[in-house]
Amino acid sequence: MKSAPIHFGSIAYILDDYLEKNTFSSIFFLVDENTHVHCLPILLADLDNISAYEILEIDSGEDNKNIDTVNNLWLALSELGADRHSLVINVGGGVLTDMGGFMASTFKRGIKFINIPTTLLSQVDASAGGKNGIDLEGMKNMVGTFTQPEMVLVDPKFLLTLEQRQVKSGLAEMLKHGLIKNRDHWDNLVQLPSHNAETLAPFIMDSIHIKENVVNNDPYEKGERKILNFGHTIGHAIESESLETDFPLLHGEAIVIGMIIETFLSYDQELISKIDLEEVCESFSSMYALNTIDMKIFPNLMEWMKHDKKNQNNSINFSLINKIGHCRYDVVCTEEEIRQAFEKYNKWIA
């Protein structure tokens, strides 16, 4: 599976050029209520080679990343006469690009789609790499496809309307890229005096390149690509559990906690030094407000973890850093080891 080209900067002329050189029977923009208002008008104003299109709008939010939403979208495509020569242009965050990619890659056995990510998290991570999917009864990304978009168009100007909480959520995946693969990227991000759309924009391409290299080496996640899941085994469990409460965490917020607890696991497995452990923990706590985890929910979290896609033979498989900038995969940890890592995190926060 060849990686999709990723273009950064002023993207309208790239899309215009693509639409001039390729003929489609119909074009669909997929947006949510926020990107419909904040992003689509900016994009359309810059495009010259598009006259006829349909807009499909979904409700934003992780709790809508499910088969019901996709079913409605398949029906809408069908009613509007979409065929195998139609094009879908996904304009939104990771929820929308994951779901829009899944919708397009399955409708009539697959129609072409383009991702235009509009959150920091989707620009640096979700929109590229070819993973599309939906949650199943709250279990993250349980159903999906590996299908590459035609291209990914990244314009940091979309980030100017993004809430700061969402920016920090995206920063989590950028920090992950540094921790697993590139110490300089980690240092660059940690050393920034403030983390907002403007200060992070110069580092977006570095993050994209780190992910792109990993994906190109292992597009179907047979080996090295698993390192992108650092922080996600525990983070996804925390995210799924929090979605059932009145105060759901954002994806990146859950992944930050997951990365810290998994760094404690790395230390307990003698993969990293105490100095690295302290640096990771102190850096995260300087950038994020962190809370303890109520150990009463630990059994629920274990249940979510048991459904993680990396598991084999009923054991829980982790990707763990083995120093800052390096990561190992397929590290099996027992429930007791996981519990101890949670307790160490709680003790350190308290």
Ligand X SMILES: NC(=O)c1ccc[n+]([C@@H]2O[C@H](COP(=O)([O-])OP(=O)(O)OC[C@H]3O[C@@H](n4cnc5c(N)ncnc54)[C@H](O)[C@@H]3O)[C@@H](O)[C@H]2O)c1
166 lines the binding site for ligand X (CB under 6 A): yes
Binding mask 72-101 for ligand X (x = CB under 6 A): --------------------xxxxx-x---
Contact assessment for residue 204 and residue 9, using Cβ atoms and an 8 Å cutoff: no
> Which residue stretch of 48-56, 147-155, 166-174, 188-196 sits at the interface with ligand X (rule: CB under 6 A)?
166-174
Q: Does 283 bind ligand X (CB under 6 A)?
A: no
Give CA–CA dist 328/330, Å, rounded: 7
Residues in contact with ligand X, counted by CB under 6 A, come to a total of 31
Q: Does 269 bind ligand X (CB under 6 A)?
A: no
Residue 121 binds ligand X, judged by CB under 6 A: yes
To the nearest 10 degrees (0 to 180), the angle between helices 164-181 and 204-217 is: 50
Q: Tell me how far CA of residue 22 lies from CA of 16, 84, 142, 150, 333, in angstroms.
A: 10, 14, 33, 11, 50
Cα–Cα dist 175/162, whole Å = 19
Rounded Cα gap, residues 169 and 254, in angstroms = 9
Out of 30, 39, 103, 277, which residue is the one contacting ligand X (CB under 6 A)? 39
- Out of 6, 60, 115, 287, the only residue in the binding site for ligand X (CB under 6 A) is 60
Using rule CB under 6 A, residue 257 touches ligand X:
no
Candidates 77, 126, 153, 172: give the one binding ligand X (CB under 6 A).
126
Nearest to residue 220, comparing CAs of 154, 309, 153, 307?
309
Both tokens assigned to 207: 């993050």
- Binding residue (CB under 6 A) for ligand X from 11, 19, 32, 284: 32
By the rule CB under 6 A, 35 interacts with ligand X = yes
What's the maximum distance between 2 C-alpha atoms anywhere in the chain? Answer: 60
Among 4, 70, 129, 154, which residue interacts with ligand X (rule: CB under 6 A)?
Answer: 129
Candidates 208, 221, 232; CA nearest to 4 is 208
Minimum CB separation from ligand X for residue 126, in Å?
3
Contact 206, 182 (CB under 8 A): yes
Token pair 């790499």 is found at 129
| Segment (H or E) for 180 | helix 164-181
Among 3, 106, 145, 161, binds ligand X (CB under 6 A): 161
- Cβ 140 to ligand X, closest distance in Å? 6
Spatial distance between the Cα atoms of 290 and 280, rounded to a whole number of angstroms: 13
If one asks whether residue 158 binds ligand X (CB under 6 A), the answer comes out as: yes
Q: Which residues bind ligand X (CB under 6 A)?
A: 32, 34-35, 38-39, 60, 62, 65, 92-96, 98, 118-119, 121-122, 125-126, 129, 131, 140-141, 158, 161-162, 166, 169, 173, 251
